[in-house]
Amino acid sequence: MPTIQMDYNGSSGFSVICEQVLAQQQREREETKFCRQCLFCKQTFCGNRAVLFDHLLRDHMFHMGQPDNLVFTDELFDLIQFKLDSQLCLFCEKSFKDKPSLREHMRKKQHRKINPKNKEYDRFYIINYMEMGKNWESLQQEDNRLVKINEGSDEEAEWADWNEECQHKVVCLFCDSASADQQDLQKHMKEYHSFDLQGVNQKLQLNFYQKVKLINYIRRQVYHKTCYGCQETFSEKSQLTEHMTKDTDHINRLPEANIWDQAQYFFPTYEDDNLLCHLDDDDEGAAGDALGVTVYAEDIPVSDSTILRDQKLHRELLRA
């Protein structure tokens, strides 16, 4: 079926387009002969399209939105597959020399999502046909709030507040300040907290993964309102910040690497921590820069029986 154009004249034209789009969406919902291979692995899914969407979210953390909000999904899959085959990142749209480099980039930068600023995707979202003044980007933000990692936990509640107020912004490591520009955020941390993140990375000669773990370690300590310089705990985050910056300068007294350079700090304290997305990586595509070798990770579907699905364990790791 050809794509319906969104150029329409008057309410009658708008109504006709809505009816056509909804009819197409209904056909896709009811179709049982759908069969397609996953975008990121070799698994094939047949039957209802929702099964593939669920797999992409659960096993690859790739979220395009709720299936009920999408239309012309075959074309959407074709477009995404074309971009991946062309070695293009779906989020930043940067071009890579080969697929392993692209996969590594999307994994490291957490770019497993489509570019919300690219109008090319507008035609695939029902909201663009149904509600004037609202687009699929705002709807996807609403959908993303439904994707929960620690359902019912205190960590999730705090993350939800942070994510809702600071969508697409980079949040300070030590206070609630946020900026859409990563450089402005770095400047804020220098001026208000006397902490030079880029300078620390350069001084310690950290590779990409060590940068990730250091940020996650600091986030975890600040979440628990604990000074990583002396391990003193406070009742309020503002008290912790005051202690670390003005009273003791403990903010620059990072512990030895063996404290924070641990596998548990690969897990972000907050989902979609945009500071991690903006990390500089001078050795793009090389996962094993600390070892002097290049390692290309492969996407492997995660079984429901794996320990990675243990939400209780995940919460315990966050509290560690």
Residue 36 scores a pLDDT above 60? yes
Phi, psi of 206, rounded to the nearest 5 degrees: -80, 140
Please tell me which residue, 131 or 51, carries the higher pLDDT value: 51
**pLDDT score recorded for residue 234:** 92
Residue 209 scores a pLDDT above 70? yes
- pLDDT digit string (tens) for 56-81? 888 888 878 777 788 899 999 999 99
**What is the token pair recorded at 45?**
């899914």
Strands (DSSP E) found in the chain = 34-37, 44-47, 170-171, 178-179
Q: Residue 33: which residues within 8 A CB-CB, separation 6 or more?
A: 46
pTM of the entire predicted model: 0.44
Q: Residue 184: which residues within 8 A CB-CB, separation 6 or more?
A: none
Between CA 143 and CA 225 the distance in angstroms is: 30
What percent of the chain stands above pLDDT 90?
A: 24
- pLDDT digit string (tens) for 136-167? 455 455 445 444 444 444 444 443 444 444 44
Q: In the 8-state DSSP scheme, what is residue 123? A: G
**pLDDT score recorded for residue 13:** 54
Please tell me which residue, 127 or 282, carries the higher pLDDT value: 127
